[in-house]
C-alpha cells in the first residue's frame, strides 16, 4: 500500500467504465487545489488565523484605487463615497451566507451553487461567469503593472503585458501552499509601501484633505441618487472577489468550542469583511486622484485614475524622483503578483471544473492556468483598462444577478422557507442536472438589468440597472422555488451510507472510506454508495471525483422521489 499525500492508493482497483488512470491523475493533481472537490480535513492543517491572513493578502489589488478614482472624477467625492458605502453594505449582506457555507462546509462557490438552486450541470453557468471575472481583473492588474514598467524603464506596453502575465505561472502551478507563503511574506511590504506616504500627505498637506471633501469632479456638485447608484454599479463588479476569498477560506479548520472566537474573527474579516478593506482603498483612490488634480496637473482628467501616476507623485513628496519611481514600481509589482496569482489560480480552478464535468476528462490544471492567462493577455492587448468604468458597470449586472441568487437561496429558501435542502449538496447522483430556481432567477435578472443598462427601458431607469438585477434575483429565487415546490433540488435524499456526514460539532466528518473505482480513500462528505455491489454483494463506495469522470452512469444510484416533506427527516438524520 502506497501513501500519496491525503489519499491512499491500493493495487486492487477494479476494471471499470471510468478510466482509472485518468481518475487517479485527477485525484493526485487536485490534492493540492481540490478544483472540483470538497476540501478534506487532512489538507486543512492551517489555523483559522493563518487562513484569514492569507485570504486578506489577496485583496492587495490596485484596481480598487482606479475604480475609486474613476467614479470620483465622474461624480465627485460625495457621490462616489456614498456609492462605495452603499455597494459595500450590499456586498457584505450577499457575502455572509455564501462565505459561511464555504468556510463551514469547505466548499468553493461552484460546489455551493450546485445545491443552491442551479443543479449539478447548471452551476457551470455561474462558474463561467466567475472565470470571466478572473480574466477581466487579471487584465486590469496586468495593465497597471505594464504601465509601471513603462514609466520606470520605457518598456513598451505589449511587452509589459506579456511579463505581467508569465511572471505568475511558477507560483500558480504549485497551488494553495505556494500562495499561502507568497501572501504571508509580501503583505507587510505592501502595507508599508502603500500606507506610509499616504499618512505623510494627510498630516503634512491639510489643504488636499479639504479639496478632497469638496471635490465635485465632472458633476454639478449636488448629491444625486442616480450618481450614487452609478458609482455603486462600478463597485458591484468587484463582488466576485468573494469567490476568490472563498477559494482560501474553504480551507478553514473545523469549528470547535476551542477555536470558535478565532474561527469567527477570521471568517468575518477574510470572508464578507474583505469589502471593508476594498471600499477603504476605493475611497483612498478618490483622494489620490484629487491630490493629482490639485497638486500636480489639473488637466490630467481620467489619467489621474492610473495607480502608477498616483503613487509616483505620492512618493515624490518624500524622496527624489528616481527613488519615487523605483518605490512605485516595487509596490505595483508586489500588488500585481499578489492578486494575479490568485486570479490565475482561481480562474484555473473554475475552467478545469467546467471542462471536467462537460468532457468527463481531466487533462490537468496547468492547461487551464495557461488558458486563463491567454484570455487575460488578449484583454490587455485590447486596452480593457481604458474602458474600466464601462466594462465593470456592464459586468456588474450579471454578477449581482448570479451572487444574489445564490445568497437568497441559502438565506431564504434554505433557512426561512425550508424549500431548499439546508445542508449543501454537490455530489453527482444526489442532485438533478438542472434546477430552474437558479437558472430562471439569473436569466430573468440579467436580461432585465442589461436591457435597462442599454437604455431600452428608458433613460430614467438606466442608472438603476444593477438595482434591477439585485431586486429581480432576490424576488425570483424564492418565487421559482415555491412555484416548482422544490422538486428540482435533490435527486436523492439518501447517499446510501449509514455513517453521518457531520461530527458532533456540525463539521463535515473526517471518516475515511475507500473508493472502489480509483482505489483512493476519501473523506465521508466526498463519498456515496456505489450502484455497483461488491463481489459478495456488499456495499461499495464511490467518490464524487470518480462520478465526475464517469460518463456511463454505471455507479450512480437510481433516483428517489424527493420533496420538501422529506427534508426535515433527512436533516434530523444527518445531524
Each residue of 397-456: pLDDT tens digit? 999 999 999 999 999 999 999 999 999 999 988 999 999 999 999 999 999 999 999 999
* Confidence (pLDDT) at 354: 86
How is residue 197 written as a grid cell?
506616504
pLDDT of residue 184: 63
User: Can you give the pLDDT at residue 467?
Assistant: 94
Residues sharing a CB contact under 8 Å with residue 396, sequence separation 6 or more, in sequence order: 233, 234, 235, 236, 237, 239, 466, 469
At 71 the pLDDT is 92
Most confident of 312-316, 425-429, 550-554: 425-429
Split at pLDDT 50, 70, 90, the class of 175 is: low
How would residue 318 be classed by pLDDT, with cut points 50, 70 and 90? Answer: confident
Q: What is the CA 550 to chain-centroid distance, rounded?
A: 28
pLDDT in tens, 232-283: 988 888 888 888 888 889 989 999 999 999 999 999 998 999 999 999 999 9
Residues 331-335: contacts with CB under 8 Å, at least 24 apart = 331/190, 331/193, 331/194, 332/62, 332/144, 332/145, 332/147, 332/148, 332/307, 332/308, 333/145, 333/148, 334/60, 334/186, 334/189, 334/190, 334/193, 335/60, 335/61, 335/62, 335/141, 335/190, 335/194
Residue 419 DSSP symbol:
-
Q: Please, what are the domains in the chain?
A: 15-43+493-562 (no CATH), 46-385 (1.10.4160.10)
Asked if the model's pLDDT at residue 557 lies above 50, the reply is: yes
Please give the helix or strand (H or E) that residue 522 lies within, else none.
strand 521-523
Contact by Cβ (8 Å): 365, 351? no
Say how far apart CA 47 and CA 388 lie, in whole Å.
37
- Report whether pLDDT(12) > 50: no
Residue 16: is its pLDDT beyond 50?
no
Question: Strand, helix or coil at 9?
Answer: strand
Nearest to 477, CA basis, from 420, 438, 425: 438
Place 77 in a pLDDT band, splitting at 50, 70 and 90.
very high
C-alpha cell read off for 502: 457531520
Q: What's the confidence (pLDDT) of residue 575?
A: 46
In angstroms, the Cα distances linking 248 to 53, 245, 252, 489 are 10, 5, 8, 27
Contact assessment for residue 445 and residue 473, using Cβ atoms and an 8 Å cutoff: yes
DSSP summary character for residue 515 = B
At 31, is the pLDDT very low, low, confident or very high (cuts 50, 70, 90)? Answer: very low
Which candidate, 180, 166, 131, 158, places its Cα nearest to that of 370?
166
Answer whether residue 36 shows pLDDT above 50.
yes
Question: What interhelical angle do 436-453 and 388-408 show, nearest 10?
Answer: 150
pLDDT value at position 30? 45
Confidence (pLDDT) at 181: 65
Q: Residue 24 pLDDT > 80, yes or no?
A: no
DSSP 234-254: HHHTTTTHHHHHHHHHTTPPP
Q: For residue 481, what pLDDT band results from cuts at 50, 70 and 90?
A: very high
- Report helix, strand or coil for 10: coil
Task: Report the C-alpha gap between 26 and 36 in whole angstroms.
Answer: 10
Cα separation, 513 vs 319, whole angstroms: 62
Please count the residues of the chain. Answer: 575
Q: Which residues contact 492 (CB under 8 A, 6 or more apart)?
A: 429, 430, 557, 559, 560, 562
Cell 461499495 sits at which residue?
A: 540
Checking if the pLDDT of 10 tops 50, the result is no
Amino acid at each position: 500500500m502506497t501513501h500519496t499525500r491525503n489519499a491512499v492508493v491500493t493495487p486492487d482497483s477494479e476494471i471499470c467504465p471510468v478510466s482509472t488512470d485518468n481518475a487517479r491523475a485527477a485525484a493526485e493533481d487536485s490534492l493540492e487545489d481540490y478544483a472540483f472537490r470538497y476540501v478534506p480535513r487532512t489538507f486543512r492543517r492551517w489555523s483559522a488565523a493563518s487562513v484569514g491572513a492569507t485570504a486578506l493578502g489577496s485583496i492587495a489589488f490596485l484596481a480598487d484605487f482606479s475604480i475609486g478614482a474613476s467614479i470620483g472624477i465622474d461624480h465627485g467625492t460625495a457621490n462616489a463615497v456614498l456609492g462605495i458605502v452603499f455597494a459595500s453594505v450590499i456586498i457584505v449582506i450577499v457575502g455572509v451566507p455564501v462565505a459561511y457555507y464555504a468556510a463551514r462546509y469547505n466548499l468553493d462557490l461552484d460546489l455551493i451553487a450546485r445545491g443552491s438552486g442551479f443543479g449539478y450541470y447548471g452551476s457551470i453557468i455561474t462558474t463561467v461567469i466567475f472565470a470571466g471575472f478572473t480574466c477581466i481583473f487579471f487584465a486590469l492588474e496586468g495593465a497597471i503593472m505594464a504601465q509601471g514598467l513603462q514609466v520606470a524603464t520605457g518598456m513598451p506596453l505589449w511587452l509589459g503585458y506579456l511579463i505581467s502575465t508569465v511572471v505568475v505561472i511558477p507560483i500558480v502551478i504549485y497551488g494553495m501552499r505556494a500562495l499561502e507563503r507568497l501572501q504571508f511574506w509580501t503583505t507587510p511590504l505592501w502595507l508599508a509601501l502603500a500606507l506610509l506616504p499616504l499618512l505623510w500627505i494627510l498630516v503634512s498637506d491639510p489643504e488636499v484633505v479639504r479639496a478632497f471633501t469638496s471635490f465635485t469632479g465632472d458633476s454639478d456638485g449636488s448629491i444625486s441618487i442616480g450618481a450614487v447608484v452609478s458609482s455603486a454599479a462600478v463597485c458591484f463588479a468587484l463582488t466576485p472577489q468573494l469567490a476568490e476569498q472563498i477559494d482560501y477560506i474553504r480551507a478553514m479548520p473545523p469549528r470547535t468550542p476551542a477555536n470558535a472566537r478565532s474561527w469567527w474573527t477570521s471568517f468575518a474579516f477574510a470572508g464578507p469583511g474583505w469589502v471593508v478593506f476594498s471600499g477603504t482603498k476605493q475611497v483612498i483612490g478618490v483622494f489620490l486622484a484629487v491630490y493629482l488634480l490639485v497638486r500636480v496637473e489639473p488637466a490630467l482628467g481620467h489619467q489621474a485614475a492610473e495607480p502608477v501616476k498616483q503613487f509616483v507623485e505620492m512618493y515624490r513628496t518624500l524622496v527624489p524622483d528616481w527613488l519615487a519611481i523605483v518605490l512605485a514600481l516595487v509596490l505595483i509589482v508586489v500588488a500585481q503578483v499578489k492578486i494575479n496569482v490568485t486570479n490565475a489560480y482561481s480562474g484555473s480552478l473554475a475552467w478545469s471544473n467546467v471542462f471536467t464535468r462537460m468532457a468527463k476528462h481531466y487533462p490537468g490544471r496547468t492547461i487551464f492556468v495557461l488558458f486563463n492567462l491567454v484570455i487575460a493577455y488578449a484583454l490587455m492587448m485590447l486596452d480593457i483598462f481604458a474602458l474600466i468604468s464601462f466594462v465593470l458597470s456592464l459586468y456588474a449586472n450579471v454578477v449581482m444577478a448570479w451572487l444574489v441568487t445564490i445568497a437568497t437561496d441559502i438565506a431564504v429558501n434554505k433557512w426561512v422557507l425550508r424549500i431548499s435542502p439546508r445542508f449543501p449538496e454537490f455530489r453527482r447522483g444526489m442532485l438533478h442536472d438542472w434546477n430552474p430556481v437558479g437558472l430562471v432567477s439569473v436569466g430573468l435578472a440579467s436580461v432585465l438589468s442589461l436591457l435597462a443598462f442599454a437604455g431600452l427601458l428608458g433613460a430614467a431607469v438606466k442608472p438603476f440597472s444593477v438595482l434591477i438585477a439585485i431586486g429581480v434575483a432576490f424576488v425570483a429565487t424564492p418565487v421559482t422555488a415555491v412555484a416548482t415546490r422544490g422538486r428540482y433540488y435533490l435527486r436523492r435524499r439518501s447517499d446510501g451510507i449509514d455513517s453521518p456526514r457531520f461530527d458532533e460539532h456540525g463539521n463535515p466528518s473526517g471518516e475515511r472510506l475507500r473508493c472502489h473505482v480509483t482505489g483512493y480513500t476519501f473523506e465521508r462528505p466526498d463519498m456515496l454508495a456505489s450502484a455497483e455491489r461488491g463481489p459478495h454483494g456488499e456495499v461499495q463506495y464511490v467518490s464524487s471525483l470518480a462520478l465526475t469522470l464517469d460518463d456511463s452512469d454505471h455507479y450512480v444510484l437510481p433516483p428517489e422521489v424527493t420533496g420538501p416533506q422529506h427534508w426535515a427527516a433527512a436533516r434530523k438524520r444527518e445531524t
